[in-house]
């Protein structure tokens, strides 16, 4: 149900769950240092215990309470916080093992959404807040999507309209000598390298077979998946040449300029943006999948973005994982 700030705050202080908006996606929030409260997140989502959650704080000063902050972390926080950058750091003992999947590291971020920040400053604890959806389903970018997925079991929701960015934060591992991005979002590898003046590697492969390496959420092979089966196409050309498209299928392309290319095919085609703008595509991707799920198509056809850009890479990562069940 849609609720008030005061009621959501009361629920969180009582060790219960609340749905809060961030600039990326809506989060299923709980007291991040209360293991009983964090366990409620895992139970409602059906989240495997090997998948850690991120702790959200209002500033770098608060981050010191829950993780060991080095010079690189301070530089990045000063440059990118509040914003969509999560830092993987060595955790302090106050952080419960359930939040970190029994690892010695924890993800920390400071979100920029004004309502989420107001909630953080009104509380005496950090918030664990993974995406507010059943595990491996499409992340929600609106309150209505959360309600549709959780139904009568939905915790109170603080509605702030559609989210600003639409895909989750970039996750950077600072806990090893080799700095690496475990999940790309709106913060690019190039911008991080410029801030730190050190090389950054990108390591976004699935860690399912090596769960001990899973320091980051969002790295399961199957993730972000719609209810409708989704087929992956490496390019528009591959999709156009696919032989088994039926009138009950839906093709999802990145730009409205590409819709005409599919006019000869028997099915409907929709676009994620007007002209291929990557920020618009990222903002609309999950919402379009949620909307399309209501329309009873037999299957979706999703094309990868062919631009050479970190944000395109981030979008493609979500698309690949959304289609992985049928790949």
In this prediction, residue 30 has a pLDDT band, given cuts at 50, 70 and 90, of very high
Q: Are residues 58 and 142 in the same domain?
A: yes
For the chain, the straight-line distance linking the first and the last C-alpha, in angstroms and rounded, comes to 36
Asked whether residue 213 carries a pLDDT value surpassing 80, the answer given is no
> Is residue 67 in a domain?
yes
pLDDT at 218: 62
Q: Are residues 202 and 315 in the same domain?
A: no
pLDDT (mean) for 277-303: 97
In this prediction, residue 325 has a pLDDT band, given cuts at 50, 70 and 90, of confident
Q: What is the spatial distance between Cα 114 and Cα 200, in angstroms, rounded to a whole number? A: 30
Q: What is the spatial distance between Cα 41 and Cα 135, in angstroms, rounded to a whole number? A: 10
pTM, whole model, 2 decimals?
0.94
Sign of CA dihedral 185, 191, 196, 197: positive
> Is residue 50 in a domain?
yes
Number of structural domains found in the chain: 2
> Is residue 193 in a domain?
yes
Asked whether residue 208 carries a pLDDT value surpassing 90, the answer given is no
Q: Are residues 91 and 118 in the same domain?
A: yes
Q: Are residues 173 and 248 in the same domain?
A: no
**Model confidence over 129-172: pLDDT tens digits?**
999 999 999 999 999 999 999 999 999 999 999 999 999 999 99
Asked whether residue 222 carries a pLDDT value surpassing 90, the answer given is no
**Tokens of residue 49, six digits:** 């215990």
> Tell me, what CATH number does 131's domain have?
3.90.870.10
Q: Are residues 236 and 201 in the same domain?
A: no
> Which of residues 213, 247, 276 is at a domain's end?
213
> Which of residues 181, 213, 245 is at a domain's end?
213
Q: Are residues 46 and 147 in the same domain?
A: yes
- Residue 80 domain boundaries: 5-213
In this prediction, residue 277 has a pLDDT band, given cuts at 50, 70 and 90, of very high
In this prediction, residue 206 has a pLDDT band, given cuts at 50, 70 and 90, of very low
> Tell me, what CATH number does 241's domain have?
3.40.50.11030
Q: Are residues 264 and 129 in the same domain?
A: no
Q: What is the spatial distance between Cα 190 and Cα 197, in angstroms, rounded to a whole number? A: 10
pLDDT at 205: 58
């Amino acid at each position: 149900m849609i609720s008030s700030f005061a009621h959501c705050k009361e629920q969180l202080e009582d060790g219960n769950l609340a749905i809060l908006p961030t600039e990326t996606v809506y989060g299923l929030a709980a007291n991040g240092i209360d293991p009983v409260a964090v366990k409620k997140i895992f139970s409602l989502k059906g989240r495997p215990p090997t998948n850690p959650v991120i702790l959200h704080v209002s500033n770098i000063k608060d981050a010191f309470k829950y993780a060991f902050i080095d010079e690189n972390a301070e530089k990045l926080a000063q440059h990118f916080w509040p914003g969509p950058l999560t830092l993987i750091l060595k955790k302090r003992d106050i952080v419960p093992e359930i939040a970190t999947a029994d690892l010695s590291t924890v993800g920390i971020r400071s979100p920029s959404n004004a309502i989420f920040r107001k909630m953080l400053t009104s509380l005496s604890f950090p918030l664990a807040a993974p995406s507010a959806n059943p595990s491996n389903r499409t992340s929600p970018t609106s309150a209505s999507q959360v309600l549709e997925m959780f139904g009568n079991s939905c915790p109170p929701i603080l509605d702030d309209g559609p989210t600003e960015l639409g895909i989750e934060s970039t996750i950077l591992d600072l806990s090893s000598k080799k700095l690496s991005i475990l999940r790309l979002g709106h913060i690019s590898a190039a911008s991080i390298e410029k801030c730190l003046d050190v090389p950054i590697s990108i390591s976004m492969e699935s860690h399912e077979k090596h769960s001990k390496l899973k320091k980051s959420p969002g790295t399961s092979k199957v993730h972000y998946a719609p209810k409708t089966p989704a087929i992956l196409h490496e390019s528009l050309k591959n999709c156009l040449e696919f032989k088994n498209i039926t009138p009950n299928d839906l093709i999802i392309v990145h730009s409205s300029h590409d819709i005409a290319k599919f006019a000869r095919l028997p099915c409907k085609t929709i676009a994620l943006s007007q002209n291929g703008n990557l920020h618009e595509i990222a903002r609309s991707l999950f919402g379009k999948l949620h909307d399309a799920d209501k329309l009873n198509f037999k299957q979706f056809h999703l094309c990868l973005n062919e631009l050479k850009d970190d944000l395109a890479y981030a979008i493609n990562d979500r698309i690949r994982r959304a289609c992985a069940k049928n790949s």
